[in-house]
Amino acid sequence: MTTPRPLVVDTDPGVDDALALVLALRSPELRVELVTTVAGNVPIGAVTDNARRLLALLAGEASPRLVRGAARPLSGRLATAAHVHGEDGLAGLSHLRDGRGAPLYPSAAGPRPGRDAAAAIVASAREHGEALTLVALGPLTNVARALDLDAAAMRGIGRVIVMGGAIAVPGNITAGAEFNFHVDPLAADRVLASGMRVTLVPLDVTRQVRLRWPAVRRALAGRRSLLARALRHVTRELAARREGLVLHDPLAMALAIDPALVASRALPVRVETAGAHARGMSIADRRGLPRGAVPAPTVDVALEVDAGQVLDLVSERVLTRGREARVAPARAADVVVVGSANTDYSVTGPALPRPGETVTDGTLHRGFGGKGANQAVAARRAGARVALAARLGDDEDGERYLAHLRAEGIDTAAVARDRRAASGVALIAVDTHGRNQIAVAPGANARLRPAHLPPAMRQVRAGGVVVAQLEVPLDTVEAAFRAARRAAARTLLNPAPYRPLPQTLVALTDVVVANEVEAAELAGQPVRNVTSARRAAAALVARGFATALVTLGARGVAWHHGTKGGHVRAPEVEAVDTTGAGDSFVGSLAAGLARGEGLVACIEAAVQAAARAVTRAGAQGAGLRRARRSPADSA
Ligand code: ADP
């Protein structure tokens, strides 16, 4: 198991804060070092008491240091949310009495909490630096103060996860503002513009994660501990409402455990601090910048969420279990491929039809194609454990494809089905000389969204490889690569079919594998032979890719990495069908990289695999289009 990551929680409990705190303390991936309190949902005395009570209930499981923080926002008066959380912040928990009239949940005994939250946060930042995660669940007063004390140390924190704001949805305290930002807009604005590595968790995603009372009751059934009774009490009223108990803070905490639960986008976000009507409103600029403008600091804004997974996590760790926190599921994939899956219908006939012409007497073959699925199959056949994120229609082609992927031993948890678009199809005409014409209808492939990625991204392990091509939307590829980076996996981009790449994607790519045509476009210089291919590979590295490979068909592969470059020959074989050679190469390369082998050794193995593929017409991973008779063939 990996060592737990140090965590600081800044909080104003608060019903959902309480659940988030329990989640943090019960998660083996995290080690809660410090809990700081901030006035918000209720005043500072009450939130600090609540945090002490909760920590006392969990005593024995963990005992982080508790430090009291700001009693009021940076400017103006405190406005609380007692109407939601109850006047004590925990639905009246502090007033419950036992049979003899004694408080059931008395204020915790023991040492009084320290009083300088900002200084304590800075001390943790200095001690742990990059390794530290800070999760801020309330108004950002303490965090802004910590920035005043030592901005450099705060910018050194590995991840700052902030629950707050509303990007494209209404607020929850005014039409425009979310509560935490509304309470202390100055602090929120400072934090977002600070240059810290912020992941913002706005209402756009938190509102999608709702806990309902029947689920709480079921999960807590039979549990009699004081903590279980407290959880039942504090959640009941909100969870029983029609809209359920919205898990704002537990979602933010869940991201400290598993960043891949959301899809996010880098956006500059500011908070209105002075507006008469829009005070506390978060403003994300999605218009892009005019050429030459100075870019504003961005934060990663979570915009889509896998709500079911978050609910499962909260339910398992907070409600169902006692002491024995469940360990995260094993990360099972070496290679995660994000990309297309097409069914290829090819008709081989005497000649290719000209415009307006019909050519008859052809023979139909059906095969499995699409670069994403091809590469997934190739990686699997090279021995990797593979998960594919793709989208198929809710139709026969989709059904057949899914069964095929499963039969190949590929994890399909992230193969989404689309009721509105058909499965991707390629219509191919082939003449007796092997020349072809291809028309593609991407269908569901074009609707693969970042939100479909988590079931695959969750599986990728540190040191694994995430592979993508360009037959699915660019923002989905970017989201996948960002998630890969967070999981410490490598990213491999096959820029096919070619389209211009945003520099953000270049920066997220570790290895680019382009054929001659793509490399010439990307590098902006001709690629005709090994020498020019080596030059293009070097140019691609200069453009920002860590490693660049240019595939040259029968002439092998040119590569460049850092200041080194070279060429690997392809074995001489009798080529029968070179369609999909690049996909075989990419899949095999990814499998090798995930095994931790050196670059040149990986290229050598991939060149062998691709050569084997071109000697066979046939199933995926070999000749992909002119399929040999396989269970998929209808002819
Ligand atoms: P793509 O299919 O993307 O156009 P290439 O044609 O460059 O890609 O092929 C990718 C790799 O497949 C090559 O680098 C080479 O290793 C292998 N390959 C392709 N064609 C042949 C061939 N005729 N003989 C041997 N290897 C080949």
266 close to 302: Cβ distance less than 8 angstroms: no
Ligand 1 pocket check for 559: Cβ under 6 Å = no
pLDDT of residue 626: 31
Cα 604 to middle of ligand 1, angstroms: 13
3-state secondary structure of 611: helix
Distance 394 CA to ligand 1 centre (A): 34
Task: Return the pLDDT at 579.
Answer: 82
Residues lower than pLDDT 70 in the chain: 1-2, 59-62, 109-111, 321-331, 617-635
CA dist., res. 405 & res. 386, Å (int):
10
Ligand 1 centroid vs 582 CA: distance in angstroms?
Answer: 6
pTM: 0.54
Task: Give the residue, by CA position, lying nearest to ligand 1 atom 23.
Answer: 554
Return the residue matching tokens 């140390």: 153
What does 361-411 look like in DSSP terms, one character per residue?
S-EEEEEEE-HHHHHHHHHHHTT--EEEEEEEESSHHHHHHHHHHHHTT-E
At 515, phi and psi to the nearest 5? -85, -175
Contact 98/58 with Cβ under 8 angstroms? no
From the DSSP assignment, how many helices (H) and strands (E) are in the chain? 22, 25
φ, ψ dihedrals at 30, nearest 5°: -120, 150
pLDDT digits (tens, 9 = 90+) for 179-192: 999 999 999 999 99
For 514-551, letters b (16+ CB in 10 Å) and e give bbbebbbbbbeeebeebebbbbbbbbbbeeebbbbbbb
Q: Does 585 sit in the ligand 1 pocket, CB within 6 Å? A: yes
Which pair of structure tokens corresponds to residue 625? 């289009």
Q: What is the pLDDT of residues 529-571, one digit of tens each?
A: 999 999 999 999 999 999 999 999 999 999 999 999 999 999 9
Atom of ligand 1 nearest to the CA of 571: 25
> Is 137's C-beta closer than 6 angstroms to any atom of ligand 1?
no
Q: What is the pLDDT of residues 346-392, one digit of tens each?
A: 999 999 999 999 999 999 999 999 999 999 999 999 999 999 999 99
**Does residue 587 have its Cβ closer than 6 Å to ligand 1?**
no
- Helix (H/G/I), strand (E/B), else coil: 289: coil
Closest by CA to 532, choosing from 567, 563, 506, is: 567
Q: Is 264 in the pocket of ligand 1 (CB under 6 A)?
A: no
Active site residues: 583
d(CA 88, CA 22): 18
One-letter identity of residue 337: V
354-367 as b/e, with b when 16 or more CB fall inside 10 Å? eeeeeeeebeebbb
Pocket test residue of 557, 572, 585, 625 for ligand 1, highest count of atoms within 8 A of CB: 585
